């Protein structure tokens, strides 16, 4: 099937040229009987919070449209669910999984908060004693459990035969937990991560057990986003329970607004589609990027196919959203979005080309991802992507190379492969 009866001429044009970056694909060119409607829109925001503010505002203003918000990971949608619910906007979730709320990271954070209320609870300390910087050993925990003493477990630890460094770390941890109990929820989570050393513990777990760092720290970032709109630790715990119930029941609602992953969007169509969180580390994921750098392209090409699926769900309006900061962390816009900017920049109606503002790229016109090219030094290859002044090419003999776009243009090193008659 080579005809798209769903999407506008602009969407099909951009999607066609984007998916050519994939080497392992069927050689087909999608066409559409639909006419020209409106350009693919790209929006870059200062941070993820402003991105979601924009989405909610647009949904409120265009409530009569059949709309979808697409995302890569389930964690990405939780802050949006929070905002939509607070704004009184109903929605349907195709993937109404509440796994996020049962993640062990979420349980850890709640246990830290519970222990800040009452530091005499041995059951909670047993779950978190290895996850903050008081350096409490299993043997010391066993000794505590054998005592029949009430009161602060930190005070009881100081009565044991402890290490010299613990004589400083334990009182410090006790004070930090006491401080947490009087903080706003978002400030409390930041304190757990930084002053109690929870982030450091997670990094060690990533190295030891191979957990994905982006997923672990992403979960913490989501918790902070939810906590920002709560006044107390109790309110935060209640809101998490409330959101869990909302997500669990979202699949039985009827609404013109659908929230779904790229993967589960296959076969669906909407008047308007917002693709959110288009940053490297989410789509493509850090693992996709690492595999790609190691010469394994399967995961990256699957991520590109998901991106393509997302774009072609839209009938009329397609908006691609990115941002510069996720929480306090500086992030890069998705490699895929950069490819789309390059493609859109060569069309008549848009002005999004950003491969390198100081380079005249007219010599590379038509060299979209997927184009067969010849380099004077590396031979035949396929253009994979453009990013931040670089062109990435997979050469038949030399493998993957990231080349300076300016050098390729100024020295005339690159040309399209001539097709045999």
- pLDDT the model gives residue 235: 96
- Between the alpha carbon of residue 37 and those of residues 8, 34, 64, 152, 213, the distances in Å are 6, 9, 18, 67, 41
pLDDT band at 2 (very low <50, low <70, confident <90, very high): low
Strand order in the sheet with 372-375: 399-404, 390-395, 379-387, 372-375, 414-416
**pLDDT in the model for residue 99:** 85
Q: CB–CB of 234/185 below 8 Å?
A: no
DSSP letter (8 states) at residue 148: -
Contact 177, 116 (CB under 8 A): yes
- pLDDT reported for residue 300: 86
User: What are the two backbone dihedrals, phi and then psi, of residue 314, each rounded to the nearest 5 degrees?
Assistant: -85, 135
- Confidence label for 265 from pLDDT (cuts 50, 70 and 90): confident
Across 332-355, average pLDDT? 64
Tens digit of each residue's pLDDT (9 = 90 or more) over 300-314 = 888 888 998 898 998
Q: What is the mean pLDDT of residues 375-403?
A: 83
In the numeric block, which tokens belong to residue 268?
């669906």
What number is the average pLDDT over the span 133-139?
94
At residue 266 the predicted structure's pLDDT band, cuts being 50, 70 and 90, is confident
| Residues in a beta bridge with 106 | none
What's the pLDDT tens digit per position in 182-240?
A: 999 999 999 999 999 999 999 999 999 888 787 888 899 899 989 998 999 999 999 99
Mean pLDDT in residue range 14-33: 65
Higher pLDDT, 35 or 247: 247
Mean pLDDT of 282-288: 86
Which of these, 391, 199, 388, 214, lies nearest to 287 by C-alpha position?
A: 214
Highest mean pLDDT (candidates 34-48, 273-287, 360-374, 381-395): 273-287
Q: Are 375 and 419 in contact (CB under 8 A)?
A: no
Q: Indicate the pTM of the whole model.
A: 0.73
pLDDT at 354 over 50: no
Whole-Å CA distances, 54 to 11, 43, 182, 317, 323: 21, 10, 33, 15, 12
Label residue 361 by pLDDT band (50, 70, 90). low
């Amino acid at each position: 099937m080579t005809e798209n009866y769903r999407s506008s001429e602009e969407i099909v044009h951009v999607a066609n040229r984007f998916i050519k970056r994939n080497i392992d694909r069927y050689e087909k060119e999608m066409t559409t009987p639909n006419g020209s409607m409106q350009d693919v829109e790209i929006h870059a925001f200062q941070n993820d919070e402003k991105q979601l503010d924009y989405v909610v505002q647009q949904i409120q203003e265009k409530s009569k449209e059949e709309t979808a918000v697409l995302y890569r990971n389930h964690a990405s949608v939780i802050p949006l669910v929070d905002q939509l619910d607070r704004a009184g906007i109903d929605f349907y979730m195709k993937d109404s999984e509440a796994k996020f709320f049962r993640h062990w990271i979420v349980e850890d954070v709640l246990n830290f908060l519970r222990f800040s209320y009452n530091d005499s609870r041995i059951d909670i300390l047993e779950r978190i004693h290895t996850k903050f910087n008081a350096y409490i050993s299993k043997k010391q925990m066993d000794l505590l459990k054998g005592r029949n003493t009430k009161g602060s477990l930190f005070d009881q630890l100081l009565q044991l035969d402890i290490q010299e460094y613990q004589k400083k770390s334990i009182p410090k941890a006790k004070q930090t937990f006491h401080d947490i109990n009087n903080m706003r929820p978002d400030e409390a989570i930041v304190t757990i991560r930084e002053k109690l050393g929870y982030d450091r513990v997670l990094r060690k777990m990533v190295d030891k057990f191979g957990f994905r760092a982006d997923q672990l720290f992403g979960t913490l970032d989501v918790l902070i986003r939810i906590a920002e709109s709560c006044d107390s630790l109790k309110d935060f715990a209640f809101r998490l329970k409330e959101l869990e119930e909302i997500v669990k029941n979202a699949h039985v609602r009827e609404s013109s607004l659908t929230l779904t992953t790229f993967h589960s969007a296959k076969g669906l169509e909407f008047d308007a589609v917002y693709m959110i969180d288009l940053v490297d580390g989410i789509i493509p994921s850090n693992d996709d990027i690492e595999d790609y750098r190691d010469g394994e392209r399967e995961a990256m090409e699957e991520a590109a196919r998901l991106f393509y699926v997302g774009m072609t769900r839209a009938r009329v309006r397609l908006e691609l959203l990115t941002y510069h900061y996720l929480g306090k962390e500086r992030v890069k816009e998705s490699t895929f979005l950069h490819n789309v900017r390059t493609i859109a920049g060569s069309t008549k109606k848009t002005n999004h080309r950003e491969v390198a503002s100081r380079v005249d790229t007219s010599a590379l016109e038509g060299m979209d991802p997927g184009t067969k090219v010849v380099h004077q030094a590396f031979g035949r290859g396929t253009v994979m992507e453009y990013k931040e002044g670089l062109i990435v090419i997979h050469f038949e003999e030399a493998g993957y190379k990231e080349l300076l776009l300016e050098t390729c243009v100024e020295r005339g090193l690159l040309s399209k492969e001539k097709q045999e008659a």
